[in-house]
Amino acid sequence: MSKKKLVFSGVQPTGNLHLGNYLGALKNFVSLQKEMECIYCVVDLHAITSFQKPNELEDNVFETVASFLATGIDPNKSIIFNQSSVSGHAELAWILNCVSRIGWLNRMTQFKDKAGSDKEKASVGLYIYPNLMAADILLYKASHVPVGADQKQHLELCRDIAQKFNNDFNCEGFFPLPEPLIQKNVSRVMSLRDGNKKMSKSEESDYSRINLKDTTDEISKKIKKAKSDSEPIPQSLKGLEKKPEALNLVNIYSELSKSSLDKVLNEMSGKEYSFLKTKLAELLINEITPVGKEIKKLLNDKPYLKQVLKKGEEKANIIAEENLKNIREKVGLI
């Protein structure tokens, strides 16, 4: 049984990465590099479960790699690659499609959200998306998976699939059961317009999110316009119950200022939200605009980005092929 600590995570190349991706996932990706071997994947096969224009998909793959690098993922420490360049993902996904159960997939809330009211029209790929995600993780026998809270259910499914494979093929411990690593306060960064919805690339209004490439001006405007509360900032978290937009702003501020929620409320209670917003905009500008500038700079050097992906692909393929050889053997595929 492999007891090695190995991190795997993925990000879809579907356009602008935002503050939710950054606080919920990317920042954690960067800090984990110090402790463990890490594999970070641009999951283009996941992206095409909803139609993507081919040239936009290609641009978005580069932009996602540039975002990985700009936030501090080091290609000399971590493996960075594009999912479709390692064919083992698709092959293992097929095997796991035969292990995973329809009843399990029927419970996936993200499919229900994404497919909307007309499920009959959703792609089959979107439905079996969580099996591909399990394949991504198990292909490398990853032990830890840093993600935002929205991916928790998919991770639980991955553990169920791994366990069933180990049972079915009588190989206890063959696939490790991966541990989700979910940030505490910022596991779900919410929309700046509606505190009950998570911040997402797909929400129509750009004012709902801070994009990593936003300028100083855009960040200031978006925070100024963000929904908050007409009452002053309360003394304790209890006062933020039923005020999801205000809670979201306080949470983001607490994370960026590295102060606990209690400390932030202590300092700010009685003040108007405009006070918090001014300070929050400053912190965001300091943290996000250098990342955005670096993304734009890196996007002007496609040969470098291609080189990073190529090197990652080669390293990922070596691990994937070795593991797939053993997986095929377990299943009885000659």
Catalytic residue positions? 114, 198, 201
Cα distance between residue 211 and residue 194, in whole Å: 17
Cβ–Cβ < 8 Å for 327, 135: no
Token pair of 173, please?
């411990």
Residue from 136, 214, 229, 313 binding ligand TYM (CB under 6 A): 136
Total residues at interface with ligand TYM (CB under 6 A): 25
Stretch binding ligand TYM (CB under 6 A), from 131-139, 167-175, 228-236, 244-252? 131-139
Residue from 27, 141, 188, 277 binding ligand TYM (CB under 6 A): 188
- Backbone phi and psi for residue 136, each to the nearest 5 degrees, phi listed first: -55, -45
Q: Is 25 in the site for ligand TYM (CB under 6 A)?
A: yes
Minimal CB distance residue for ligand TYM: 24
Residue from 199, 219, 226, 309 binding ligand TYM (CB under 6 A): 199
Handedness of CA 33, 36, 37, 39 (dihedral sign): negative
Question: For residue 90, how many C-alpha atoms fall within 13 Å in the half-sphere facing its CB?
Answer: 11
Select from 330, 309, 334, 13 the least CA-distant residue to 141: 330
Stretch binding ligand TYM (CB under 6 A), from 7-15, 252-260, 271-279, 282-290? 7-15
User: In whole angstroms, how close is the CB of 250 to ligand TYM at the nearest point?
Assistant: 15
Residue from 6, 10, 157, 174 binding ligand TYM (CB under 6 A): 10
Q: Is 27 in the site for ligand TYM (CB under 6 A)?
A: no
Residue from 137, 250, 256, 280 binding ligand TYM (CB under 6 A): 137
Rounded to the nearest 10 degrees, how much is the dihedral formed by the CA atoms of 318, 321, 326, 331? Answer: 160
- Using DSSP, state whether 300 is helix, strand or coil: coil
Cα distance between residue 20 and residue 150, in whole Å: 11
Which residue lies nearer to ligand TYM by CB, 12 or 78? 12
Q: Is 320 in the site for ligand TYM (CB under 6 A)?
A: no
Whole-number Cα distances in Å, 118 to 14, 48, 50, 122:
22, 18, 14, 7
Q: Is 24 in the site for ligand TYM (CB under 6 A)?
A: yes
User: In whole angstroms, how close is the CB of 216 to ligand TYM at the nearest point?
Assistant: 22
Neighbours of 224 (CB within 10 A): 12
| Bridge pairing between strands 6-11 and 37-42 | parallel
Rounded (10°) angle between helices 244-257 and 273-299: 60
Q: Is 21 in the site for ligand TYM (CB under 6 A)?
A: yes
| Site map 38..77 versus ligand TYM, x via CB under 6 A | -----x--x-------------------------------
Residue from 56, 59, 91, 150 binding ligand TYM (CB under 6 A): 150
User: In whole angstroms, how close is the CB of 9 to ligand TYM at the nearest point?
Assistant: 4
Cα distance between residue 214 and residue 217, in whole Å: 8
User: In whole angstroms, how close is the CB of 95 to ligand TYM at the nearest point?
Assistant: 16
Cα distance between residue 219 and residue 173, in whole Å: 48
Binding site for ligand TYM (CB under 6 A): 8-12, 20-21, 24-25, 43, 46, 133, 136-137, 145, 147-148, 150-151, 187-189, 198-200
